[in-house]
């Protein structure tokens, strides 16, 4: 069994990256006139699409690498944590998204500021930024380790590739 990327693997990755860049370019051609249009597509997206987008956003490369690795190395009890993910998605789809629609807010931070204060909003935002930075660091290292295995390179090279793309 080979653990390095072959020519076909590399071609698929390059084509996928190119397709993503083209989709991004195509979608960015139309300029949004308001923040509502930019962040929320003018509130024209059906809730099921918004929920699917939310679920897709929750799945990272670390999920694809870590979940099978954890199941293989120990047992599959770790998979039960996915039940919590499904419960959270149901809560977001049935409680938070309708709340956002009803109150015409763009983010949870806007809702927190309206309900509490600007200071609480800033604290929540700061907490989110710190935790997302730490989580992103873990994800970058994890995907760099995967690239190290499949490319046969040392960790610094895949890390540089990931850091450049990120």
Task: Tell me the angle at which helices 108-115 and 118-151 cross, rounded to the nearest 10 degrees.
Answer: 160
Residue 89 pLDDT greater than 60, yes or no = yes
What's the confidence (pLDDT) of residue 162?
63
Contact 103, 114 (CB under 8 A): yes
The CA distance from 43 to 61, in Å, is 29
DSSP string, the chain: ---S--HHHHHHHHHHHHHHHHHHHHHHSSPPSSHHHHHHGGGTS-HHHHHHHHHHHH--HHHHHHHHHHHHHS-GGGGGHHHHHHHHHHHIIIIIHHHHHHHT-SSHHHHHHHHS-HHHHHHHHHHHHHHHHHHHHHHHHHHHHHHHHHH---THHHHHHHHHH-
Residue 153 banded pLDDT, cuts 50, 70, 90: low
Residue 1 pLDDT greater than 60, yes or no = no
What's the confidence (pLDDT) of residue 165?
63
What's the confidence (pLDDT) of residue 54?
74
Percent of the chain with pLDDT over 70: 87
Digit-coded pLDDT (tens) for 13-43: 889 989 989 988 887 777 777 777 777 777 7
Residue 126 banded pLDDT, cuts 50, 70, 90: very high
Residue 131 pLDDT greater than 80, yes or no = yes
User: Mean pLDDT across the stretch 127-139?
Assistant: 88
The CA distance from 117 to 111, in Å, is 10
Number of other residues whose CB lies within 10 A of the CB of residue 143: 21
Q: Which residue in this structure is represented by tokens 């390179």?
A: 153
Residue 129 banded pLDDT, cuts 50, 70, 90: very high
Give the largest CA-CA distance in the chain: 58
Q: Which residue in this structure is represented by tokens 């997302």?
A: 132
């Amino acid at each position: 069994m080979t653990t390095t990327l072959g020519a076909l693997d590399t071609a698929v990755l390059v084509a996928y990256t190119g397709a993503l860049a083209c989709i991004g370019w195509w979608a960015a051609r139309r300029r949004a006139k308001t923040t509502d249009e930019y962040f929320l597509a003018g509130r024209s997206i059906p809730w099921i699409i918004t929920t699917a987008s939310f679920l897709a956003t929750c799945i990272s490369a670390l999920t694809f690498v870590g979940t099978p690795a954890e199941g293989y190395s120990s047992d599959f009890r770790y998979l039960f944590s996915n039940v919590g993910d499904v419960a959270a998605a149901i809560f977001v789809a049935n409680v938070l998204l309708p709340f956002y629609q009803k109150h015409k807010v763009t983010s949870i931070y806007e809702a927190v500021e309206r309900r509490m204060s600007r200071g609480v909003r800033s604290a929540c935002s700061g907490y989110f930024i710190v935790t997302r930075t730490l989580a992103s660091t873990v994800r970058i290292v994890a995907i760099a380790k995967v690239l190290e295995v499949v490319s046969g390179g040392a960790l610094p090279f895949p890390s540089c590739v990931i850091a450049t793309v990120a």
